[in-house]
Amino acid sequence: MKVWELKSGSVNDYAPLVFTEDQDIESGMFDASGKAMSWSKKPKIEVFVEPGMGKPKPLADISALTPGALAMSDKAKAAFEVFLSRFGQFLEMDCDGSSRWFYNVTNVVSCIDKARSTKRPSGSIVKEAFRAGRVPVGEAVFKDPLTAAASIYVNDPGKAALERIITDAAIIGMTFVEPGPPPKKPRPRA
């Protein structure tokens, strides 16, 4: 069964969100390692405006904020909540007076084959190889302990379910990519 990485849309097309308070980041409030969390306060985030630009790019329903998590609009939360609540939790954030939702995946499945995965000299995984017998069979959104802080995965049935929701609710900003870096483009030859 194929496994996809679930990500927010391109920051080239849509504005990412950024943290407004360093102490929230330093406290581990936005830890995306797969553990359930609770917040005593609603953290503040804001729309990133590129230096020199007068206004931000448009916001998507799913925005980039931090690796290993998704930041959703109210519209996206409403569309995905029934499906995604089975695999994680929604935590409310304040984005310039409006709600945005930090989706924290808590469904952790040990399914990466470390020995077959491509690694950097430091030992960190560059391209995941999955153990077929360990990847969930039914619809699933999940993390693996080896990459939990950086990656959210979805299997083929889960991807199909999410694609139906995206189409039905006209959600923008969610993408599915093959895990690992994109293939290198061949260099032009003279």
Phi, psi (5° rounding) for residue 169?
-100, 0
For 136-169, what is each residue's pLDDT tens digit?
A: 999 999 999 999 999 999 999 999 999 999 999 9
How, if at all, do strands 17-19 and 44-47 pair? antiparallel
Cα gap 50→47, rounded to integer Å: 10
Query: What is the tens place of the pLDDT at every residue in 69-112?
Result: 999 999 999 999 999 999 999 999 999 999 999 999 999 999 99
Does residue 148 contact residue 5 with C-beta atoms inside 8 Å? no
Euclidean distance between CA atoms 149 and 47, whole angstroms? 23
Question: Among 46, 57, 1, which Cα is nearest to 19's?
Answer: 46
Lowest mean pLDDT among 8-12, 126-130, 139-143, 164-168: 8-12
